[in-house]
Amino acid sequence: MRIASVAGAFPKYYYSQEVLSAALKQYWGDRLKNPDVLDRLHANVNVRGRYMSLPLEGYYSMTSWGEANNKWIETGLDIGEQAIATALKPIGLAARDLDAIFVVSVTGIASPSLDARLINRMGLCANIKRNPIFGLGCVAGAAGISRAADYVRAFPGQTAVLLAVELCSLTIQRDDLSVANLISAGLFGDGAAAAIVTGDERDIQGPEILATRSTFYPNSERTMGWDISEKGFQIVLSPGVPDVIKEHLGQDLSLFLSDMGLSKKDIGSWVFHTGGPKVLEAVEAALELPDEALQASWDCLANVGNISSVSVLLVLEDVMANRRPEPGTLGILGAMGPGFCSELLLLKW
């Protein structure tokens, strides 16, 4: 199985972190008792700017979850179509050539799901196998590639696409002034990415997926996720996330590589979800990585923030286009997310 192509796509609105922080102060108004706290929190997330689904004034007038979710569908279809079309172009495939579609998101819901609506918009094959997946959050970019790889392992002559769509700005909560929500409002952005995964019988180049590993950490449900009410999605984000990563990720990797007859010294490339500064620092500490190992992840975080499941795919896109390892290099692609859990893929470039 190979990752033949990856492409990101974004809404048309992009704002600097300073502009967004000022807009959030206005959005929360008198509810925000100490505006300087917001400045400090947002400065610490190492984000220079983010894409938004709406112009800033659009968030002031948005009053219901239903309204936000309708915008999620509208914008998600636009940038989802763009991401898939862009990923298909360099490998010479058309939309009708796709045999399976996996769509991951945790920032909106739809029935018919986005994949069904994209069949109509893009002319996908009517017999395409649809796999909408909700709830995996940040880990879904890596887990989605793993599930697509499972599919083409069973059908080696076929091609699957993973589409990740996350419009985090549309989950904003006016009445939630918790530290977790204030941090999230400065960290998360909007975007989509598509990855094309091909079976062994397809003559298409790309990093080979040698193995995958999913690991769930029991009794960690409140580490990260959403509380869902009539007001929509309310962030659950424990300050203990970095500690969970430090406790588990090193062992996860060691066991995974050991089962493949490998060790960490055999790995020459690292593609990780952008999480946030403390998450990336925790990954570096848990895996004892040199400073430059996760530079692509740090750059992605600075440029567009954390876009949940989309982020690891954007890092992979950058590495494939601009930082491609030497042929034969073994690499790890990884992410963590609600559960709490990790997903690791062993790649051969």
10-residue mean pLDDT profile of the chain (349 residues): values are 98 96 88 84 93 95 92 98 98 97 97 96 97 95 98 97 98 87 92 97 94 94 82 82 93 97 97 95 96 96 97 98 97 95 97
Among 142, 169, 198, the domain boundary falls at 198
Residue 216 located in a structural domain: yes
Among 198, 221, 236, the domain boundary falls at 198
Is 162 strand, coil or helix? strand
One domain for residues 164 and 297: no
Among 139, 169, 198, the domain boundary falls at 198
One domain for residues 134 and 212: no
Q: Which alpha helices (H) appear in the chain, and where do they start and end?
A: 17-28, 35-43, 56-61, 65-88, 114-122, 140-154, 179-187, 241-259, 277-287, 295-304, 310-322
One domain for residues 192 and 231: no
Residue 27 located in a structural domain: yes
Q: What is the distance of C-alpha 133 from the center of its chain?
A: 13
Q: Which of 88, 62, 86 is nearest to 74 (CA)?
A: 62
For residue 306, what is the DSSP state? B
| CATH code, domain with 184 | 3.40.47.10
The Cα–Cα gap between 293 and 76 comes to 32
pTM: 0.95
One domain for residues 66 and 117: yes
Q: Which of 202, 205, 169, 203 is nearest to 188 (CA)?
A: 169
One domain for residues 258 and 186: no
- Find the radius of gyration of the CA atoms of the chain: 19
- Say if residues 12 and 214 touch (Cβ distance below 8 Å): no
The Cα–Cα gap between 196 and 208 comes to 12
Residue 62 located in a structural domain: yes
One domain for residues 230 and 185: no
One domain for residues 87 and 7: yes
Residue 203 located in a structural domain: no
One domain for residues 58 and 157: yes
One domain for residues 85 and 115: yes
One domain for residues 20 and 163: yes
Positions marked catalytic:
138
One domain for residues 298 and 192: no
Number of domains forming the structure of the chain: 2
Residue in the block written with tokens 């549309």: 170
Strand partners, 69: none
One domain for residues 134 and 36: yes
Maximum Cα–Cα distance for the chain, whole Å? 61
Residue 30 located in a structural domain: yes
Q: Which of 107, 145, 115 is nearest to 6 (CA)?
A: 145
Q: What is the distance of C-alpha 61 from the center of its chain?
A: 28
Domain that holds residue 281: 208-348
Q: Which of 15, 3, 78 is nearest to 317 (CA)?
A: 3
- Say if residues 136 and 338 touch (Cβ distance below 8 Å): yes
